[in-house]
Structure 1
Amino acid sequence: MADEHTRVQNFFTARAADWDTRFPDDGPAYAAGVDALGLGVGDTVLDAGCGTGRALPALRAAVGAQGTVLGMDLTAAMLDSAIRAGRDRSGALILADVARLPLRSRSLDAVFAAGLVSHLSHPGPDLAELARVVRPGGQLALFHPIGRAALAARHGRPVTDDDLRAERNLRPLLARSGWRLDTYTDEDDRFLALAVRTR
């Protein structure tokens, strides 16, 4: 696991400084992904693998001043970029691993996770750890601003059957990890899987 963490950290550290300029038009997609969570004023939400904090302003707008917004990432350079962008004003930034969240059980109403699934060292246990910190009935949004086919094309590779984000793979993985997949959208301009924390 340490090797995988190092790989992920090295990948994102090398890209942190110009990450936002590489994807300048994703803001509306992030806002729409956050809207789909249906957060309420006063809710507590975690942006897991928050990167440069692109979702944090939309999450703050959704939960209001009374709510709590946490942004958590494994890579310090990404959090530094979030601070430089002023996104730390929208939520508290925490350097941590989603495999071992420094949060109480059932303390969150929802988790937003953009692009996270493909970077998890142990997807089942890691998704179960996210489930641990969400109250029963709370929600998880697995999001990406473009769909699986568009993302594969961007990287010059085909969509494969073993992709964790494929619905036939994701649904049972979530079910084993304490989640029920409610809605699944995989279109060129958005990937969004919404799941509910089971009891």
Structure 2
Amino acid sequence: STVIERIVVRVPCNESSTTITDILTVSPPGMSKSSISLDPDDNNTYIMYIQWTPRPDQYGIHQLCLTPVDSVGQTGQQVCYTFQVDVEPPNFINGSMTPQGLVPRNQAIWSISTDQDVIPPSQRAAYIRYFKQMSNGADVEVLRVNAAVDVIYQARQLVINTGSTIWEEGAQYYILFDSGIALINQSCGIESAPLANKSFWTFQISAPHHTTP
């Protein structure tokens, strides 16, 4: 997001011929400042705007320091402001999952995309869980995939390998993710949120076709 701040500097002496000619800044890379203008409602007050859109790699604490300079070369008191740039966690892109819908019994490779470059979890176990939908609502977890072992991380895509699993003919399944399945490799590794929506990634196993002679 973009930060826009209004900076106000006031000459302390009324009816003074002294004007503000500059506002010196020590600022984060990429921050811009406008020209200085006189407040139309107060001849001793000057206004300047600063604008900054942090880059993704500029997370953390940043400081902006301002020092006014008047027309006779005197500097005013420096004032500093602190900005904290937070990092958004990685998100899984809805609609990027493959396969969905009807899949064969021996389907073993699954993939989903993220909106940022990600790396695998390293500090704890995090699982991708496959659930079989039951008619009585008591769904059953049938497979648990360790993200650090059976998932390949390809920049902005996760490729999941369920190995030799054979799915039940005609059954319906959904996939859920623990928190921390994916991390971004910055700011101490921000974790992905859990994926707990049962309708987000679903699939059904195709049933055999029977023909009559």
- Superposed pair shares fold, TM > 0.5: no
More strand by share: 2
Superposition TM-score, scaled by structure 1 size: 0.20
More helix by share: 1
